[in-house]
Amino acid sequence: MISKQFFEALDLVVAERGLEKEKVLEVFERGLLNAYKKAYTNNENARVEFNEEKNEIQIYADYLVVEDPQEADEISLKDAREDRKTIKIGETLTRKITPKDFGRIAAVSAKQILTQGLKQLEREKIYEIFKERENEMINSEIIAINKDFVTLDLGHNLETSLPRKELLKSDDARIGSKLKVYITKVDMTTKGPKVFVSRNDKNLVKRLIEQVTPEINDGTVEIMGLARDAGDRSKVAVYSHDSNVDPVGSVVGYKGSRITEVLEALQGERVDIYEWDKDPINLIRNALEPAKIIAINPNKKEKSAVVIVKDKDFTSAIGSKGQNVRLAAQSSGWKIDIKSMSDAKEMGINYRRIDIDNED
Q: What pLDDT digit, counting tens, does each position of 117-148 carry?
A: 777 878 888 999 999 999 999 999 999 999 89
Nearest to 125 by CA among 188, 59, 217: 188
> Do 237 and 225 form a contact (C-beta atoms < 8 A)?
yes
Q: What is the mean pLDDT of the chain?
A: 87
Decide if pLDDT at 110 tops 60. Answer: no
Do 192 and 258 form a contact (C-beta atoms < 8 A)?
Answer: no
| Residue 200: count of CB within 10 angstroms of its CB | 15
d(CA 226, CA 235): 6
CA distance 241 to 219: 8
Closest of 76, 113, 71 to residue 91, by C-alpha: 76
Q: Is the pLDDT of residue 92 over 60?
A: yes
pLDDT confidence band for 41 (50 / 70 / 90): low
Amino acid 333: pLDDT: 96
3-state secondary structure of 356: helix
| Whole-angstrom distance, CA of residue 288 vs CA of residue 293 | 8
Question: How many whole angstroms separate alpha carbon 60 and alpha carbon 56?
Answer: 13
At 275 the pLDDT is 97
Pairing of strands 158-163, 178-189: unpaired
Average pLDDT for residues 295-308, to the nearest whole number? 95
Q: How many residues does the chain have?
A: 360
Residue partners of 179: CB distance under 8 A and separation at least 6 = 139, 140, 141, 142, 152, 171, 199
Q: Report the predicted TM-score, pTM, of the whole model to 2 decimal places.
A: 0.72
- Residue 209: phi and psi, rounded to 5, are -65, -40
Report whether pLDDT(82) > 50: yes
pLDDT digit string, tens, across residues 145-183: 998 999 999 998 899 999 988 899 888 889 999 999 999
Q: How many CA atoms lie less than 13 Å away from 328 in the CB half-sphere? A: 26
pLDDT of residue 23: 79
Supply the pLDDT for residue 320.
93
3-class state of residue 304 by DSSP: strand
User: Which residues neighbour 54 within 8 Å (Cβ) at sequence distance 6 or greater?
Assistant: 2
pLDDT-based confidence at residue 358 (cuts at 50, 70, 90): very low
Burial class, 266, CB count within 10 angstroms (exposed 0-12 / middle 13-18 / buried 19+)? buried
Our measurement of the distance from residue 3's CA atom to the centroid of its chain's CA atoms, rounded to an integer in Å, reads 40
Task: Give all domains of the chain, ordered by start, each with its CATH number.
Answer: 4-130 (3.30.1480), 139-198 (2.40.50.140), 201-275 (3.30.300.20), 277-360 (3.30.300.20)
Output helix, strand, coil percentages for the chain, rounded to the nearest 5: 40, 30, 30
CA angle 223, 227, 233 (to 5 degrees): 115
Smallest Cα–Cα separation from 289: which of 240, 242, 238, 254? 238
pLDDT category, 3, cuts 50, 70, 90? low
